[in-house]
């Protein structure tokens, strides 16, 4: 579906007409520049590549500089492709936060916060043993048995165990757009979105 690239500013809360306090996330959305137009004839599918957030030329390869020069725009730090735009866009066109309307629902995806190496209680929600007496030593947060004995003599793939947590691409669906602040390129959506502050996010209708 059509969408834009943005940057997570942080969380706050606002009051609705009934006086209810609603937690929400503020996202800086756009302005995004059309850096490439995919067509069925050339690429085999229709899509629009958008760029967001300026980047210094000295930190960019010559090939990338040439790519953005075709679109007549400065080098962008984040690019992403979107399908499903109803409007026809050409290179260099700018799409703003006004692409979204108050009251509609969007999907937001980003890279989740990295948590490092975590145990099974934090990573998978295990309950722990729970019994701290009768000779129990230091195994309160252990995973317990992870397989059988001489047969199958191995641990099956996908077994929930301790390990690296976070840093995954996560999509949160059906977040309501509470407010669109056009003059500041801000989008306020209900609830939380993945990622740390200043993390890049993609918002899709």
d(CA 116, CA 166): 7
pTM: 0.84
For 37, the 3-state DSSP assignment is strand
Whole-number pLDDT of residue 90: 87
d(CA 122, CA 131): 18
What average pLDDT does the chain have? 92
d(CA 96, CA 85): 13
Whole-number pLDDT of residue 114: 95
- Tens of pLDDT along the chain (205 residues) come to 789 999 999 999 999 889 999 999 999 998 999 999 999 999 999 999 999 989 888 888 999 999 999 888 999 999 999 998 888 888 888 999 999 999 999 999 999 999 999 999 999 999 877 677 777 777 788 888 898 889 999 999 999 999 999 999 999 999 999 999 999 999 999 999 999 999 999 999 9
Q: How many CB atoms lie within 10 A of CB 67?
A: 18
Whole-number pLDDT of residue 1: 77
Whole-number pLDDT of residue 16: 87
| 178 closest CA partner among 23, 28, 29 | 23
What is the domain class of 3-116+168-204 according to CATH? mainly beta
d(CA 194, CA 110): 6
Q: CATH 2.40.30.10 occupies which residues in the chain? A: 3-116+168-204
Whole-number pLDDT of residue 103: 93
| 95 closest CA partner among 205, 193, 11 | 205
CB contact at 8 A, 25 and 188: yes
d(CA 37, CA 136): 64
CB contact at 8 A, 50 and 35: yes
For 40, the 3-state DSSP assignment is helix
d(CA 54, CA 69): 13
d(CA 195, CA 193): 7
Residue 42, sorted as left (phi over 0), alpha (psi -120 to 50) or beta, turns out to be alpha
């Amino acid at each position: 579906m059509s969408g834009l690239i943005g940057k997570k500013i942080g969380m706050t809360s606002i009051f609705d007409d009934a006086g209810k306090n609603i937690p929400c996330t503020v996202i800086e959305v756009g302005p995004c520049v059309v850096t490439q137009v995919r067509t069925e004839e050339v690429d085999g599918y229709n899509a629009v590549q958008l760029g967001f957030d300026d980047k210094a030329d000295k930190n960019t390869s010559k090939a990338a500089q040439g790519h953005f020069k075709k679109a007549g725009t400065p080098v962008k730090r984040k690019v992403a492709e979107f399908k499903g735009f109803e409007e026809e866009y050409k290179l260099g066109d700018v799409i703003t936060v006004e692409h979204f309307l108050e009251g509609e629902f969007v999907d937001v995806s980003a890279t989740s916060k990295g948590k490092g190496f975590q145990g099974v209680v934090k990573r998978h929600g295990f309950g722990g043993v729970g019994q701290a007496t009768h000779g129990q030593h230091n195994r309160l947060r252990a995973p317990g048995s992870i397989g059988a004995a001489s047969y199958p003599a191995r641990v099956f793939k996908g077994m929930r165990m301790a390990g690296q947590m976070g840093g995954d691409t996560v999509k949160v669906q059906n977040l309501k757009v509470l407010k669109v602040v056009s003059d500041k390129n801000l989008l306020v959506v209900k609830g939380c979105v993945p990622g740390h502050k200043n993390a890049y996010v993609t918002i899709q209708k």
